[in-house]
Amino acid sequence: MTDLDRLLRQDTTAGPTAQASPPRHAMTVDVEDYFQVYAFFHCIPRDTWDGYARRVEANVDRILTQFAAANVSATFFTLGWIAERHPAMIRRIVEAGHELASHGYDHTRVDAMDAAAFRADLLRTRNILQDTGGVAVRGYRAPTFSIGPTTPWAFEIMAETGHTYSSSVNPVRSDNYGMPDAPRTPYQPLPGNAAFWEFPMTTVRLFGRNLPCAGGGYFRLLPYWLFHRGFTRATETERRAGIFYFHPWEVDPDQPRVPGCGWKSRLRHYTNLARMSARLERLLGDFDWGRMDRVFAAELAGTGATGVAATDAPRVLGQAAQHVADPMLADPMRAGPMLADPMLADPIQADPTLADPTLADPTLADPTLADPHPADPILGAALDLTTAAVQADFNRTVDANLDAILDAAVARGQYPSRKPT
C-alpha cells in the first residue's frame, strides 16, 4: 500500500481541529474564480479562461486567514480546473484542517451533461483533488445546484464513483436552478442504498413557499439582520443543521469588471462585494460552524436519525409539523401575529441593528468600505433598488410585511431611514 493509499483510507473526521461534539452548521466555499461563474457563461467562453488573470488563490488565502481567526473549519467544494493550476493552495486548505470536496471539473452544469459525461467529470475531478490534496474526497456539489427533476440518474453515478454525499439540491424555485418539491432535510435519494446522502441547501418555509437562506448572492443583497433572522428561523426554530455557502470572488471587491454581460449579471455578481468580508466575519461569530463531514457525521456513519428515505419524501413534503411549532409559518395573517413573532411587536428590541444600522452594515460607519467601482451608471442605479428587487423576487407578501415593520419603526423614531442597508 502506498503512502497516498494510506492517507485516503484515513478517517477525515479526525484530526487536530476535531471537536468533542459536532458543530451545529456547515460552512462551505465553492472554489471557482470570478470569470467561471454561471452569470458570465454567455460572455466568457471556457476556452478563454486561461487568458484571464486568476485571483482565486489570493482570495482563498484571505478566507483561510478569516476562518483561522474565527476558529472555523469548512468544506471547500473545488473545481478540478482550479486544483490543477493551484496545487499549493489545495494543500494549504487541507493542512489548515478543512474538508476537500468536489465541485466538478470546469463548472459544467449536470443538466447539460449526459450520464457518461457526468461520470467522466466526477472521476476526473475526484482523482485530481485526491492526488493533489492527499485526502479522500467524499463530497460533491453540483455547479449552480444543477441536480433536479431532469437528472434522477446523477445520485447513483455519484455513489458509484466513490462519493458518499451530495449537497447539490436547492429546494427553491429560481430562474437558474431549484427543485422546490425536494425534501428540505437530509435524505437518502437512492432506494436500497443507505450509505449515500443528499444534504439540501438551507431554506426557510414561509407563506407556503421555500425561501433561499443558505448564502450566495442573497447574503450580499439582503440586509444582514434579515438574513440572520431567516437562517435562525430555518435552523433553530426547526431544530436542524444549516448549510451556508459563498465563493472566493465574493470577498474580492477589486476584481476586474467584465464588460458586455448585461445589467442582470452585473447586479447579481458585483452588488455589495465590498461589504462581504465584514458580513462574513459577523456571521462566523454569530453561529457555530464546521465542515460538512463533521456536522453530518451521524448520518454519514449510519447512525443519524434526522434524515428521510427517498420513499418517504412525499410524506415529508406534505407534513405540517413545523407549522405547529410556529403559527407564523402556517398563517402569518392570523389574529395575534405578535405572539408568534416578537419582531412584529418590536423589531428594535428583537434586533438592535435596526436602531443602529451601522451594526448591521459596517460600510455605513466607514465610507472607505463602500464599493470602489461606482462608475457604472446602470449598476449604480440597480444597487439602489437591490433589496426591494430581491424581496419582490422572493415573495411579494414577505416584502409587504417587511415594509410594515420598518414603517412602524420609523414612525416611533426607532429607525432613522427607510433606505435599505
Distances in Å between the alpha carbon of 8 and those of 1, 45, 152? Answer: 11, 35, 29
Query: What average pLDDT score do residues 23-49 get?
Result: 92
Query: What average pLDDT score do residues 93-120 get?
Result: 97
The CA distance from 265 to 42, in Å, is 10
Task: Output the pTM of the full model.
Answer: 0.71
Q: Model confidence over 210-220: pLDDT tens digits?
A: 999 999 988 99
Q: Exposure string (b/e) for 313-340, b if CB count within 10 Å is 16 or more?
A: beebeeeeebeeebebbbebeeeebeeb
Straight-line distance from the first to the last Cα atom of the chain, in angstroms, rounded to the nearest whole number: 57
CATH number attached to the domain at 21-314: 3.20.20.370
The CA distance from 347 to 345, in Å, is 6
Q: Among 185-194, 223-232, 265-274, 403-412, where is mean pLDDT lowest?
A: 403-412
Q: Model confidence over 136-193: pLDDT tens digits?
A: 999 999 999 999 989 999 999 999 999 999 999 999 887 677 788 899 999 999 999 9
For the chain, the structural domain boundaries read 21-314, 321-411
Query: What average pLDDT score do residues 21-35 get?
Result: 90
Q: Exposure of 51 by Cβ count < 10 A (0-12 exposed, 13-18 middle, 19+ buried)?
A: exposed
Q: Using 50, 70 and 90 to split pLDDT, how confident is the model at 323? A: very low
Q: Using 50, 70 and 90 to split pLDDT, how confident is the model at 43? A: confident
The CA distance from 313 to 187, in Å, is 8
Residue 376 has pLDDT above 90, yes or no: no
